[in-house]
Amino acid sequence: MKAFLVANPKGGSGKSTLATNLAGYFANKGNEVMLGDIDRQQSSREWLGLRPFALPTIDTWAVGEDKISRPPKGTTHVVLDTPAGLHGKLLERVLKLSTRVIVPVQPSLFDMLATRHFLAELLSEKAVRKGKADVAVIGMRVDARTRAAGELERFFATFDLPVLAYLRDTQVYVQATAAGMTLFDLPPSRAERDIEQWQAIIKWVEAG
């Protein structure tokens, strides 16, 4: 079983967008996918309620801050969406379920400051130090033409971590989410540019 933790202590960093689309990718490949939502807002779980039955299945299981249990047997891929303020014992517990950690970051000063402290804590965790959980970062809602995009790139350069992608700020994600869908459920012509940006992410999650 492959398990992916999507985490950042900053609210609004794009965790649910990344988690749902990652689950959608795996489901469209025919895998047995579980999307777990530890966030009290339960955004990902509510999104699952919108998902059309005709689309590839993404399931969930009983999971929360006080009840972090392993998914049912037969699951091949797990994606965990996490709450703002993730740290300490809760971070340690969810890392025990995870083989890979993806940290989404928006190109803003507040996001980068919050993420710097989180990455320092994450990289000091036993599971990461011992190589049981690999970590990568992704730029979210990035306009490459802006100064903020350059600042985010310089921020990432201060860490010895793979930068998987800089995903653009587009209504395609918003519209797909509102319909219970992901990029990978849309007609190729509608999501072609964004799926191209996902290729390095796909390569990383499929490796190992």
pLDDT tens readout for residues 81-126: 887 777 788 888 888 888 899 999 999 999 999 999 999 999 999 9
What single letter denotes the amino acid at residue 9?
P
**Does residue 64 carry a pLDDT above 60?**
no
The predicted pLDDT at position 104 comes to: 96
CA distance 57 to 50: 12
**Does residue 61 carry a pLDDT above 80?**
no
Token pair of 8, please?
A: 């950042």
The predicted pLDDT at position 187 comes to: 94
pLDDT digits (tens, 9 = 90+) for 4-16: 999 998 888 899 9
Token pair of 41, please?
A: 């807002």
**31 or 67: whose pLDDT is higher?**
31
167: containing domain: 2-206
What single letter denotes the amino acid at residue 186?
L
CA angle 27, 65, 62 (to 5 degrees): 45
Query: What total of structural domains would you count in the chain?
Result: 1
Closest CA to 84 of 107, 115, 62: 115
- Estimate to the nearest angstrom the gap between the alpha carbon of 72 and the chain centroid: 21
HSE-CB for 151 with a 13 A CA cutoff: 12
Instruction: Yes or no: say if 202 and 100 are a contact pair by the CB < 8 Å rule.
Output: no
CA distance 38 to 96: 14
CATH of the domain at 197: 3.40.50.300
Closest CA to 44 of 3, 6, 1: 6
The predicted pLDDT at position 131 comes to: 86
Q: What is the pTM of this model?
A: 0.92
